[in-house]
């Protein structure tokens, strides 16, 4: 595609170059530029992309997009006010707007996005619209599964992936929209039909700095990206109005809002709710009618996810029967309260709770359902929000009989320091600290710190008695551990299964 054609999709401030090069690819990282590429020189947190123009040109870039007053020599360039926005719009144009003609649902919020995408994928399927799904676990459609380095990919990768999945036959798109993606305009080239808000609680304050800024980035989806237009005149916001931030977002929405909630009266409410170890049964009252539902998902927080998915289905005008079937017959959401089968009589669950709110919700559910004791193992990721560490420590300590602090993905931080910050939260409860030997035979409420996650999981299994719940939190579906800048294979489910087999073998 010619550069002049590509720039039609953006507001150009200035443009220089005697030729109109044919652009064969879009790149935002000089290290990945291919000959014929258009390079976007973006100002980032860690570096300024302008500094890499020379490298990009050497690698074959034929034009650059810049967002400041400097002017590169000997290369065609385009100046725009916001490079990331321009990149999103150009990427959509370059890949022939894969999302334009399809129903597209974007889900945002601190917790519950991945779970809700799985429910919606199932609803779309039952409604005869097999959907492409992009989120934390992977980017997928049918047999195609692409690894997901980020929950929401950078705009160029997003549009390229959507093109691939739509060409493979996807009839709808369901995607998680992270606050980073909203802030960085990764999704501005996508035309959404429905936006879903799940909830907002503390996370990512390393990046957003405070809750107001975090809220503002989430709000963009509803106030700026769901404005009805001639291409998509029917757009809807589906919002959890039990959440105080949800109520504020509903007021800022640029399109009709479908509200849902358990506590407050909303367009979608749940009646006759029964929670048990085997799932949730309830009647969903929706503007289109009632749905009698039996879900295999466990816990009150999952009822919110069910209502979010039902709300999106209703907003899209899908038949109630498809919504019911989709919600009742979906696969296991990987690493979300995923059971590790064992012969010990212990309920071993792997879960992705990596925020205080998620951990509290899961532990409240466990507290309601428990027959024995609760053993919780978790850590906190490095190079991420430090403030949530003691909060998570305190929550684990409050609800668990034994808390095991361990390493998550330490990244470039020292795991022992991260664990010490988690420990501060538990210590303030005055709970007894055990050695690993004492923890294995614990009688009283206590906690222990074990840095190697594998050893920590073995200890959790060793300490468990029949009837106990072992919750392995924070890494969910992840099959790796990031230490320094390297990724090593690590899967809580595999390690726990092995530990259970070993213990069962010793018991015989």
Ligand X SMILES: Nc1ncnc2c1ncn2[C@@H]1O[C@H](COP(=O)(O)OP(=O)(O)OP(=O)(O)O)[C@@H](O)[C@H]1O
Ligand Y SMILES: N[C@H](CCC[C@H](N)C(=O)O)C(=O)O
Q: Segment near ligand X (CB under 6 A), from 94-102, 105-113, 186-194, 441-449?
A: 105-113
Is residue 217 close enough to count as binding ligand X by CB under 6 A? Answer: no
Residue nearest Mg ion (C-beta atom): 136
Residues 6+ apart with CB under 8 A from 43: 49, 50, 67, 68, 83
Among candidate residues 22, 32, 79, the one with its CA nearest the CA of residue 56: 32
d(CA 169, CA 97): 15
Judged by CB under 5 A, the residue of 88, 97, 108, 114 near Mg ion is 114
Residue nearest ligand UAG (C-beta atom): 44
Region at 17 (left for phi over 0; alpha for psi -120 to 50; beta for the rest): left
Range 313-372, binding ligand Y (CB under 6 A): 354
x-or-dash pattern for ligand Y, window 107-146, by CB under 6 A?
-----------------------------x----------
Specify the 3-state DSSP secondary structure of 53. helix
Judged by CB under 6 A, the residue of 85, 105, 309, 358 near ligand X is 358
Specify the 3-state DSSP secondary structure of 28. coil
Give the total residue count for the chain.
Answer: 508
Dihedral sign computed on CA atoms, order 119, 122, 124, 129 = positive
Specify the 3-state DSSP secondary structure of 42. coil
Distance (Å) of CA 1 to CA 36, 53, 155, 186, 195: 10, 21, 18, 21, 31
d(CA 312, CA 103): 11
Judged by CB under 6 A, the residue of 31, 231, 485, 489 near ligand UAG is 31
Where is the binding site, in residues? 30, 109-115, 150-152, 178, 184, 186, 384, 408-411, 474, 478
Q: Segment near ligand X (CB under 6 A), from 67-75, 86-94, 358-366, 488-496?
A: 358-366
Which C-beta is closer to ligand Y: that of 22 or that of 206? Answer: 206
User: Minimum CB separation from ligand X for residue 277, in Å?
Assistant: 16
d(CA 438, CA 462): 11
Is residue 139 close enough to count as binding ligand X by CB under 6 A? Answer: no
Judged by CB under 6 A, the residue of 151, 217, 347, 406 near ligand Y is 151
Cβ atoms of residues 354 and 343 within 8 Å: no
Where is the binding site for meso-2,6-diaminopimelate, in residues? 384, 408-411, 474, 478
Is residue 236 close enough to count as binding ligand X by CB under 6 A? Answer: no
Residue nearest ligand X (C-beta atom): 112
Residue count at the site for ligand UAG (CB under 6 A)?
20
The tokens describing 408, both together, are 């998550």
Instruction: Say which DSSP state 353 is in.
Output: -
Judged by CB under 6 A, the residue of 49, 106, 299, 311 near ligand UAG is 49
Residue that has been written with the tokens 């064992």 in this structure:
342
Q: Segment near ligand UAG (CB under 6 A), from 147-155, 251-259, 298-306, 432-440?
A: 147-155
Residue 468 binds which one of ligand UAG, ligand Y, ligand X, none, with CB within 5 to 8 A depending on kind? none
Using CA atoms in the order 406, 408, 412, 417, what is the torsion angle rounded to 10 degrees?
-30
User: Minimum CB separation from ligand X for residue 296, in Å?
Assistant: 15
Dihedral sign computed on CA atoms, order 446, 450, 453, 455 = negative
Cβ atoms of residues 94 and 159 within 8 Å: yes
Cβ atoms of residues 63 and 72 within 8 Å: no
Q: Segment near ligand X (CB under 6 A), from 245-253, 283-291, 354-362, 399-407?
A: 354-362
Range 418-477, binding ligand X (CB under 6 A): 476
x-or-dash pattern for Mg ion, window 384-403, by CB under 5 A?
--------------------
Is residue 136 close enough to count as binding ligand UAG by CB under 6 A? Answer: yes
d(CA 117, CA 84): 26
Judged by CB under 6 A, the residue of 37, 83, 103, 112 near ligand X is 112
Instruction: Give backbone dihedrals phi and psi of 152, rounded to 5 degrees, phi first.
Output: -120, 120
Give burial (CB, 10 Å; 0-12/13-18/19+) of 71.
Answer: exposed
Specify the 3-state DSSP secondary structure of 292. strand
Judged by CB under 6 A, the residue of 192, 214, 301, 447 near ligand X is 301
Residue 464 binds which one of ligand X, ligand UAG, Mg ion, none, with CB within 5 to 8 A depending on kind? none
Is residue 28 close enough to count as binding ligand UAG by CB under 6 A? Answer: yes
Judged by CB under 6 A, the residue of 130, 207, 279, 369 near ligand UAG is 207
Q: Segment near ligand X (CB under 6 A), from 211-219, 281-289, 357-365, 486-494?
A: 357-365
Judged by CB under 6 A, the residue of 305, 342, 347, 403 near ligand X is 305
Is residue 453 close enough to count as binding ligand Y by CB under 6 A? Answer: no
3-state SS string for 124-157? HHHCCCCEEEECCCCEEECCEEECCCCCCCCHHH
Range 130-169, binding Mg ion (CB under 5 A): 136
Q: Segment near ligand UAG (CB under 6 A), from 24-32, 217-225, 328-336, 451-459?
A: 24-32
Cβ atoms of residues 399 and 363 within 8 Å: yes
Instruction: Give backbone dihedrals phi and psi of 350, rounded to 5 degrees, phi first.
Output: -105, 125
d(CA 508, CA 505): 5
Write out the residues near ligand X by the rule CB under 6 A.
111-115, 136, 151, 176, 198-199, 301, 304-305, 336, 351-353, 357-358, 361-362, 476
Write out the residues near ligand Y by the rule CB under 6 A.
136, 151, 354, 381, 384, 408-409, 474-475, 478
């Amino acid at each position: 595609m010619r550069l002049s054609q590509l720039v039609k999709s953006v507001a150009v401030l200035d443009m220089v170059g005697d030729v109109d090069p044919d652009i064969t690819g879009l790149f935002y990282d000089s290290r990945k530029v291919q000959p014929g590429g258009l390079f976007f020189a973006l100002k980032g947190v860690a570096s300024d992309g302008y500094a890499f123009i020379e490298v990009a040109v050497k690698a074959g870039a034929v034009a650059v997009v810049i967002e400041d007053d400097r002017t590169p020599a000997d290369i065609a360039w385009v100046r725009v006010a916001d490079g990331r926005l321009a990149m999103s719009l150009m990427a959509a144009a370059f890949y022939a707007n894969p999302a334009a003609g399809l129903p597209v649902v974007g889900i945002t919020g601190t917790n519950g996005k991945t779970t809700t995408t799985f429910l919606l994928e199932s609803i779309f399927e039952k409604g005869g619209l097999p959907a492409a799904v992009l989120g934390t676990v992977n980017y997928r459609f049918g047999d195609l599964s692409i690894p997901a380095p980020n929950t929401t990919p950078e705009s160029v990768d997003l549009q390229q992936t959507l093109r691939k999945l739509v060409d493979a036959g996807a009839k709808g798109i369901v995607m998680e929209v992270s606050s980073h993606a909203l802030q960085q305009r990764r999704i501005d080239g996508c035309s959404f039909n429905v936006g879903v808000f799940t909830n907002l609680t503390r996370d990512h304050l390393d990046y957003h700095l405070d809750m107001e800024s975090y809220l503002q980035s989430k709000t963009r989806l509803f106030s700026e990206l769901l404005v009805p237009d001639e291409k998509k005149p029917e757009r809807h916001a589906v919002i959890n109005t039990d959440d105080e931030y949800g109520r504020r977002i509903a007021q800022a929405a640029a399109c009709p809002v479908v509200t849902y909630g358990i506590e407050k009266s909303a367009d979608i409410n749940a009646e006759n709710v029964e929670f048990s170890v085997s799932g949730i049964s309830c009647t969903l009252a929706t503007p289109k009618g009632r749905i009698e539902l039996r879900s295999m998902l466990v816990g009150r927080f999952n009822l919110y996810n069910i209502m979010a998915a039902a709300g999106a289905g209703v907003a899209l005008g899908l038949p109630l029967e498809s919504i019911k079937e989709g919600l009742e017959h979906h696969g296991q959401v990987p690493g979300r309260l995923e059971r590790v089968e064992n012969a010990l009589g212990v309920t071993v669950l792997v879960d992705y709770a990596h925020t205080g709110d998620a951990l509290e919700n899961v532990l409240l559910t466990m507290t309601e359902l428990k027959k024995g004791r609760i053993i919780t193992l978790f850590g906190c990721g490095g190079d991420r929000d430090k403030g949530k560490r003691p909060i998570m420590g305190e929550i684990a300590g409050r609800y668990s009989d034994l808390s095991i602090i361990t390493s998550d993905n330490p990244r470039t931080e020292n795991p022992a320091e991260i664990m010490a910050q988690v420990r501060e939260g538990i210590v303030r409860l005055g709970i007894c600290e055990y050695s690993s030997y004492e923890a294995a035979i614990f009688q009283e409420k206590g906690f222990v710190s074990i840095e190697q996650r594998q050893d920590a999981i073995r200890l959790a299994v060793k300490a468990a008695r029949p009837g106990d719940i072992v919750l392995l939190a924070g890494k969910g579906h992840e099959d790796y551990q990031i230490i320094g800048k390297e990724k090593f294979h690590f899967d809580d489910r595999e390690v726990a299964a092995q530990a259970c087999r070993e213990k069962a073998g010793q018991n015989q």
